[in-house]
Amino acid sequence: MNERNAPSRGLAGLFGRGRGRASGGNADDGSAMLKGRHIIEPGNLSLPELDGLFDLAESIVKDPARYSEVCRGKILATLFFEPSTRTRLSFEAAMLRLGGSTLGFAEPGASSTAKGESLADTIRTVSSYVDVIAMRNPKEGAAHLASQYSSVPVINAGDGGHHHPTQTLTDLLTIRSIKGRFDGLTVGLCGDLKFGRTVHSLAKAMSRYPNVRFVLISPPELEIPDYIIAKVFKPSGVQYTQVRRLEEAIGDLDILYMTRVQKERFFNEQDYVRLKDSYILDAEKMRLARPDLCVLHPLPRVNEIAPEVDADPRAAYFAQVRYGMFARMALIMKLLGIVEGGGKKG
Ligand code: CP
């Protein structure tokens, strides 16, 4: 059986029942130096650190009970200055499933930001109460600023159109779990490649692996920013092509990463309305795709994937949601210097 026909590893493992205790091997592999670090963009993690993180996440997927107390006594703050369902709740679920606790706010109106408090003072305050902070903020660079005032690790949960590193960890863990590798994959990025921060982060992260090819599928107005081409694709030598029609490209792809047109980043409602339905993945287009295509979407979706695709075994976006929680569990453990069994590494 060649790799293309190999059964998907990921979905069964993810949704199946735990298979008893993991082998006892230590999932930590020398990436314990993550303790105390801030995670502002995907490039903050080296490839060995990513491998160690994904090994730990996969170990948690296999035997979550083994990790259910490792963060007892630790507190995560989720500071969300912008709306979120998956990122905030998966961070909170991650900490709770590790035995820790959470506090925070889901919108800035519920904090003293509404009274004019600066981000620096908010972070100084919160970091004196908790062990780790996950923050989303509409301003690009806000997470970096927060890290300069925090006495505990800050995890960027999205800063404007800039970065969303834990979405990238989610995407990479999903790809690794389903495809078993990163190298040699042809990745289609489809939709709003201009404003979609998850696209920028994933493009950067996947460009670090050998022989990855990108197919950039967007209308001219939503093309990937020039700096990604100039500073990411060209220096890494990664191959890329730009096309306008999804039908042209879908048959060549290992991964199709669909994205929502980012209404909140448009200055002009008319442009949004004109572009919002540029691409709609439906059953007809899926018939043109390979049998082992993996369809991802960071979610939320609006119209860009028809609900009829959800039942297709190649649709992995709800599995991806669940991998996000496991990726964040592994990241929290690493940043707190916690190894399995509740021990600690310095
Ligand atoms: N993928 C993602 O960031 O989703 P939320 O905006 O719901 O957190």
What does the block give as tokens for 330?
A: 């592994």
In a mutational test of the pocket of ligand 1, which residue from 78, 85, 257, 259 has the highest number of ligand atoms less than 8 Å from its CB?
85
CATH topology of domain 20-163+324-335: Rossmann fold (3.40.50)
In DSSP terms, which residues pair with 283 in a beta bridge?
Answer: none
Ligand 1 contact, 166 CB (< 6 A): no
Ligand 1 contact, 169 CB (< 6 A): no
Q: Would you say the C-alpha torsion 331, 319, 18, 48 has a positive or negative sign?
A: negative
**pLDDT confidence of residue 274:** 76
Ligand 1 contact, 8 CB (< 6 A): no
For the CA of 164, the closest atom of ligand 1 is 3
Ligand 1 contact, 298 CB (< 6 A): yes
Interval between CA 302 and ligand 1 midpoint (Å): 13
For the CA of 298, the closest atom of ligand 1 is 1
For the chain, give the number of residues: 346
pTM of the model: 0.88
Ligand 1 contact, 42 CB (< 6 A): no
Do the domains spanning 20-163+324-335 and 166-322 agree at the CATH topology level?
Answer: yes
For the CA of 324, the closest atom of ligand 1 is 1
Ligand 1 contact, 260 CB (< 6 A): no
Q: Is the distance from CB of 60 to CB of 94 less than 8 angstroms?
A: no
Sequence spans of domains, the chain: 20-163+324-335, 166-322
**pLDDT confidence of residue 237:** 94
Q: What is the DSSP string of 181-241?
A: --TT-EEEEES-TTT-HHHHHHHHHHTTSTT-EEEEE--GGGPPPHHHIIIIIHHHT-EEE
**Cα–chain center distance at 163:** 10
Per-residue pLDDT of the chain (346 residues; tens, 9 = 90+): 333 333 334 443 443 323 222 223 344 444 558 999 999 998 899 999 999 999 999 999 999 999 999 999 999 999 999 999 999 999 999 999 999 999 999 999 989 999 999 999 999 999 999 999 999 999 999 999 999 999 999 999 999 878 899 999 999 999 999 999 999 999 999 999 998 889 989 999 999 999 999 999 999 989 999 999 999 999 999 999 999 999 999 999 999 999 988 766 666 778 777 778 789 999 999 999 999 999 999 999 999 999 999 999 999 999 999 999 999 999 999 999 998 654 444 3
**pLDDT confidence of residue 341:** 54
| Separation CA 233–CA 253 (nearest Å) | 18
CATH topology of domain 166-322: Rossmann fold (3.40.50)
What residues contact 293, with CB distance under 8 A and at least 6 apart?
A: 250, 253, 254, 255, 256, 286, 314
